[in-house]
């Protein structure tokens, strides 16, 4: 996979001529396997890299400067110093909604500029028509902004630099290539159970995967159109009002109409994607998407009584949760029986907010890359859990050393079980053995309700 490694060389090039802790970490990201290192040896380098970023970014990132001032932190000497500098997901959706609904784009730009390391002031947002148009202006000015799926009616806006996109693409391609056994020199038919484009983090990544591993003449998407944030937010707001029982009768009718139209369209597209897939029966293919549409495709085949011959080198990536859609208990088995044994797997654990993914190894653990400083927190969310080797459990906080266009400190809502000793696969980096969402765990692990509120993922 020479071409993939070359992409890594460029994306993770030195930032400071090789003479910094950040550069020492970037050098590991250029290695053949960026997830094989001794965590005890690397920890002081990772903390020093975080200190360097704090010093260089606080003047640009207002929120970081205020947090560091308030906590009296100028340097990161130990994991606990990092904790007050982890931003919650809520930080990236803390803009007043009226900036969007009233079209005050200059105000929204100022809010975003306060979170970005690059200067966004020169971006022309005059005559912007809606949030998608606003995001297009930023992307075309060289300031990509990622969004989270705004299922609550308001999406997070995460400023990045073009370097972050290059790094995310290069790492994603390398990670999935490794864990799914893909080769850039053997392009295959690809079936993406998603929209073809848009600023949503997952969309940006699967474009890179498609470019590298998929035959452009046999690249299929469940939805050919681009993801529009404005539409997703509108549907999210409506769904929330229906759930809250605050929707008017006409809003309820609109929600029902939208849901019926989406279901009809999805069913129609599932048939089309299945037709295309059946043309490649017996060949190694790639199928990519979250659990539910992946299962819907196989269910469509089963209801049609379609015959498909699996191939042992097929790669089926399933990501994300079940998104509250009811699935039969044996859906994973159904997928395996349809495609081939052992080919259906996540391949990686990660957040669209973090540059590097943690690839799934042969022991079915997920290994953190050198650029991901893992900070596990106790139930209070205020104290880092000490690493004493072995198995450690905690709320997943992360400092992303590879993040360039915004501050890399993030508090997620995932509760992880991580091993800090050598994995049965042979690699030594910290490896995840279990993930549960904090919001799915009940309240027993959260002693402070106010704190719990902060954890809720901005999705
Ligand atoms: Zn392993």
Please provide the DSSP assignment of 128-147 as one string. --SHHHHHHHHHHTT--EEE
* Å from CA of 58 to ligand 1 middle: 36
Q: What is the maximum span of the chain, computed from C-alpha positions, in angstroms?
A: 65
Alpha-carbon distance of 402 to 23, in angstroms, equals: 10
Alpha-carbon distance of 221 to 113, in angstroms, equals: 34
Give the pLDDT score at 225. Answer: 84
* Å from CA of 433 to ligand 1 middle: 9
Give the pLDDT score at 443. Answer: 36
| pLDDT per position as a tens digit, 64-76 | 999 999 999 999 9
Going from the C-alpha of 149 to that of each of 101, 235, 354, 457, the distances in angstroms are: 18, 11, 16, 11
Tokens in use for 127?
Answer: 């005559």
223 with 196: CB under 8 angstroms? yes
Alpha-carbon distance of 441 to 111, in angstroms, equals: 33
* Å from CA of 365 to ligand 1 middle: 5
401 with 407: CB under 8 angstroms? no
Give the pLDDT score at 456. Answer: 29
| End-to-end Cα distance, the chain | 34
| Model confidence, pTM | 0.89
At 66, which helix (H) or strand (E)? helix 62-71
Residue of 282, 278, 274 whose CA lies nearest to 314 = 282
DSSP 368: P
Judging by DSSP bridges, how do beta strands 145-147 and 87-88 pair with one another? unpaired
Instruction: Give strand pairing partners of 319.
Output: 290
* Å from CA of 438 to ligand 1 middle: 24
Three-state DSSP state, 103: coil
Give the pLDDT score at 158. Answer: 94
Tokens in use for 87?
Answer: 């931003």
Give the pLDDT score at 448. Answer: 28
Give the pLDDT score at 33. Answer: 85
Residue of 287, 130, 159 whose CA lies nearest to 219 = 287
Alpha-carbon distance of 410 to 78, in angstroms, equals: 17
Q: What are residue 226's phi and psi, to 5 degrees?
A: -80, 145
**Helices and strands: H and E segment counts in the chain:** 15, 15
Q: Residue with structure tokens 């915004």?
A: 406
Alpha-carbon distance of 381 to 396, in angstroms, equals: 9
* Å from CA of 38 to ligand 1 middle: 13
Three-state DSSP state, 17: coil
C-beta atoms surrounding 245 within 10 Å: 7
Give the pLDDT score at 439. Answer: 58
Neighbours of ion ligand 1 (CB under 5 A): 361, 363, 365, 423, 425, 427
* Å from CA of 196 to ligand 1 middle: 33
Percent helix, strand and coil across the chain, each to the nearest 5: 40, 20, 40
Q: Encode the chain (459 residues) as per-residue pLDDT tens digits.
A: 445 667 788 999 999 999 999 999 999 999 888 999 999 999 999 999 999 999 999 999 999 999 999 999 999 999 999 999 999 988 999 999 999 999 999 999 999 999 999 999 999 999 999 999 999 999 999 999 998 766 667 889 999 999 999 999 999 999 999 999 999 999 999 999 988 877 776 677 888 999 999 999 999 999 988 888 888 888 888 888 888 889 899 988 988 998 899 899 999 999 999 999 999 999 999 999 888 899 999 999 999 999 899 999 999 998 866 555 678 888 888 999 999 999 999 899 998 899 999 999 999 999 999 999 999 999 888 999 998 878 999 999 999 999 999 999 999 989 999 999 999 999 999 999 998 876 554 433 332 222 332 332 222
Tokens in use for 203?
Answer: 């969309």
């Amino acid at each position: 996979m020479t071409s993939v490694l070359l992409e890594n060389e460029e994306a993770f090039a030195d930032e400071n001529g090789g003479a910094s802790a950040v550069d020492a970490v970037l050098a590991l990201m250029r290695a053949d396997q960026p997830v094989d290192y001794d965590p005890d040896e690397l920890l002081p380098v990772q903390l020093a890299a975080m200190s360097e970023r704090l010093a260089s970014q606080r003047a640009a990132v207002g929120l970081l400067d205020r947090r560091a001032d308030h906590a009296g932190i100028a340097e990161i000497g130990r994991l606990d110093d990092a904790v007050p500098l982890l931003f919650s997901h809520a930080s990236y959706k803390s803009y007043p909604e009226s900036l969007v609904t009233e079209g005050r784009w200059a105000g929204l730009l100022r809010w975003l500029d306060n979170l970005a390391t690059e200067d966004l002031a020169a971006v022309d947002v005059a005559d912007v028509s809606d949030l998608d148009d606003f995001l297009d202006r930023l992307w075309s000015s060289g300031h990509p902004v990622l969004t989270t799926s705004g299922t609550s009616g308001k999406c997070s806006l995460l400023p990045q630099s073009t370097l972050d996109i290059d790094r995310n693409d290069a790492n994603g391609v390398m990670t999935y290539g490794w864990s799914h056994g893909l080769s850039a020199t053997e392009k295959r038919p690809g079936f993406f159970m998603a929209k073809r484009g848009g600023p949503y983090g997952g969309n940006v990544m699967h474009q890179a995967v498609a470019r590298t591993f998929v035959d452009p003449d046999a690249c299929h998407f469940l939805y050919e159109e681009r993801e529009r944030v404005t539409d997703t937010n509108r549907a999210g707001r409506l769904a929330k009002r229906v759930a809250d029982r605050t929707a008017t009768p006409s809003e309820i009718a609109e929600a029902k109409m939208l849901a019926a139209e989406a279901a009809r369209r999805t069913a129609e597209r599932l048939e089309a994607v299945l037709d295309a897939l059946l043309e490649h029966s017996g060949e190694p293919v790639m199928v990519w998407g979250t659990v539910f549409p992946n299962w819907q495709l196989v269910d469509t085949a089963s209801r049609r009584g379609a015959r498909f011959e699996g191939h042992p080198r097929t790669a089926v990536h399933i990501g994300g949760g079940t998104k509250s859609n009811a699935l039969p208990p044996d859906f994973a088995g159904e997928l395996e029986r349809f495609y081939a044994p052992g080919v259906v797997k996540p391949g990686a654990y990660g957040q669209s907010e973090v540059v590097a993914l943690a690839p799934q190894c042969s022991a079915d653990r997920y290994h953190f890359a050198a650029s991901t400083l893992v900070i596990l927190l106790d139930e209070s969310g205020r104290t880092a859990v000490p690493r004493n080797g072995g198995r450690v459990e905690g709320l997943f906080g992360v400092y992303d050393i590879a993040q360039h266009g915004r501050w890399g400190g993030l508090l997620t809502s995932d509760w992880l079980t991580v091993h800090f000793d050598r994995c049965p696969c042979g690699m030594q980096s910290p490896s995840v053995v279990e993930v549960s969402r904090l919001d799915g765990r009940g309240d027993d692990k959260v002693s402070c309700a106010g704190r719990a509120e902060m954890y809720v993922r901005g999705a």
